[in-house]
Structure 1
Amino acid sequence: MIKFGTIGTSMISEEFISVAKQNQNVKVVSCYSRSKEKAKEFIKANELKARAFDNFQEMANEIDAVYIASPNGLHFEQAMYFLQQQKHVFLEKPLTLDVKQAQQLYEVAMKNKVILMEAFKLIHAPQYNFLDDFVKKYSPFAATFSTNKYSSRMPDVKKGIFNSVFDEKLGKGSTYDMLVYPVELAISLFGPVKEVKSMSSQLSNGVNFVDAVLMKHESNVITNIMCSKSSNGLVGSEILSDEGTISFQEVLRLNKINLYDIEEKKNYNLFDDDKEDMMKYELDVFAKMVLEDDLQLSDYLLKISCETVRVLNIVEQNSL
């Protein structure tokens, strides 16, 4: 049984607790908030038998692993603390806001022989295998990923109110909160990136809310990405080869996956939608890695996460 502590009291933390209750290998035993009273309220609201903490050191003594769902800009400091205490870390995306910090976390995790995993749900979902199989069989040359999701925080942004997601230091806007999904998906499918071209639009505080990105992978696949947090996109995504095309809706869920075979001139429906909470799959993988001490899989996943942060850094630099 893996004894978990949580950091963060947002909806994503509630989602984690919900799937953790369904996992026989996991038990949430403590919750952290800067306000202990808020942590107690969170525990009560989620019907947990857990202790409330407002101190990392005290919580570290009670747990085997920690789930971190704090604002993006706090990921590095918090993850580093628990890795140094030789605790396993399940960290919400993005891994960090800086590739050098991501590498530092990677090195400390490997040195201390503990599992560090970014909570990037797409690669662990069963439907991801349809895309992976297509890439292996059809050898694609290009992909177009569309990720446009209207943020519930946009009305505040229009009033000049920038909460954590759109904060310059804590969230850094669409680039690190939304673009991370298609970039990481592309890297997991096509491999490391050797060239990045991008343009972005900024809010008045300087953070991006629209990103247009063109990446060329070391495999020579070219990925085109359109991403924003200011509108709901209606166009899906596709991966192209000279033998077939695979298309899907919603990069955030990988649903409605279809294959068009050029030789047969036929469309095949491969997958509609998965009603399961996708966090279930990533928590299953994390728990399995911890229980089996699978540092090899951890290494593989961390390299994808670090490469993703490197590309996001380039996109951010291009927008300055």
Structure 2
Amino acid sequence: MINLGIIGTNWITHSFVEAAHATGKYTLVAVYSRKEETAKEFASKYTDKKITTYTDLDALAQDTNVSTVYIASPNILHYEQAKHMLSASKNVIVEKPACSTVSELDTLFKLAQEKNAILVEAFRHIQEPNFKLLKQKITDLGPIYGASLNYAQYSSRYEKVLAGETPNIFNLEMGGGALVDLGVYCVAAAIDLFGAPQDAHYWPVKIATGADGAGRLILAYPTFTVHLCHSKIYNSEAPSEIYGERGTLVVPTITDIDAVTLWDPKTKQKKGVDGVRKPETLNLLDEAKVFARFIEEGEREEVSRLERNSREVLAVLEKVRRDNGLLFPGGI
């Protein structure tokens, strides 16, 4: 059993814990929050577990009963908190984006290696079976002509921005913005599907807080381009598509994919791709299973591949943020 500690007590943490428990591989044993009442409230949801609550990161790091820590705090805190836990030889699962810069990420991966610990970034969508099916079917398209990947979902927290507030997710001081919150899903998908781009350009929609509320990216590859659209200030139901000589692969969303279809240029008709599976009700279940396997069995080759992906994703995010003056504390 993987004894799990968590940092960050929002809805996604509950989602991960619920999925982790459903695998039968994890048990929640520790909860950290800056406020004791918040930690206790979170722990109270799991009355069948014996859970220790902490308001001190050192105390959590020193808890020998905790083998793995899931981090889902505000983005700007990920690096220091992950570094703290890795230094204590704990495995770390950190929500995306894991860090603000490639330099920070390299420090964490080096530390994980030194401590013989597993560090993975929680890109749940690339672990979903239907995403893996989409990736597998790309080879059927022949030469690739391009792709369009979309994730635009209106955030209720934008109402706070319109009211003059600065919620964390739209606050550059907290490492926020639409690019690092939703756009990162599109970038991670593109890199898992096609590899690292040769170049990247970003056209952000800046909002009152100074952060980006939406934006469009172009990733340049040697023979094609990938267009990415993401937003937290408007909604879109546009599908994501991959264009090839032998047809077009279409998915309705880039996460929680419930159908993969192929448009055939010969018949000019769409057909479902064999093997499509209904998405899990617990949409973090697939990643929780994969990460448990990493922790229990090692699988260093796959861990190394995901490490490379994380580095390439962050290189794109860091470049285009800097290009557009979307800087986090310290000018990073």
TM-score, L = length of structure 2: 0.92
Write out aligned runs for 1:57-96 (5 A): 57-60=58-61, 61=63, 62-96=65-99
Partner of 1:46: 46
Give how far 1:111 is off. 2.4
1:193 aligns with 2:194: no
CA 141–112 in structure 1, closer or farther in 2 if over 3 Å, else same? farther
Residue deviations 1:299-319, cap 9 Å, x none? 110111111111011221222
- SS of 1:66 mapped into structure 2: strand
Write out aligned runs for 1:133-282 (5 A): 133-139=136-142, 140-217=144-221, 220-270=223-273, 271=276, 273-282=278-287
Give how far 1:277 is off. 1.7
CA 104–235 in structure 1, closer or farther in 2 if over 3 Å, else same? same
CA root-mean-square deviation: 1.5
* Structure 2: unaligned runs, 5 residues or longer: 326-332
Residue deviations 1:41-83, cap 9 Å, x none? 1111233421111122222223100000101111000001111
- SS of 1:230 mapped into structure 2: coil
Give how far 1:273 is off. 4.4
Residue deviations 1:190-226, cap 9 Å, x none? 00111112211212232111211100136x4411011
1:285 aligns with 2:290: yes
8 Å CA contact 2:161–2:209 kept in 1: the answer is: no
Give how far 1:250 is off. 1.9
Q: Percent identity?
A: 29
Partner of 1:5: 5
CA 272–238 in structure 1, closer or farther in 2 if over 3 Å, else same? farther
8 Å CA contact 2:172–2:210 kept in 1: the answer is: yes
8 Å CA contact 1:171–1:177 kept in 2: the answer is: no
1:309 aligns with 2:314: yes
Rounded to whole Å, the distance in 2 between the matches of 1:155 and 1:124 is 32
Partner of 2:330: none
Q: What number of residue pairs does the alignment pair up?
A: 319
Give how far 1:10 is off. 0.5
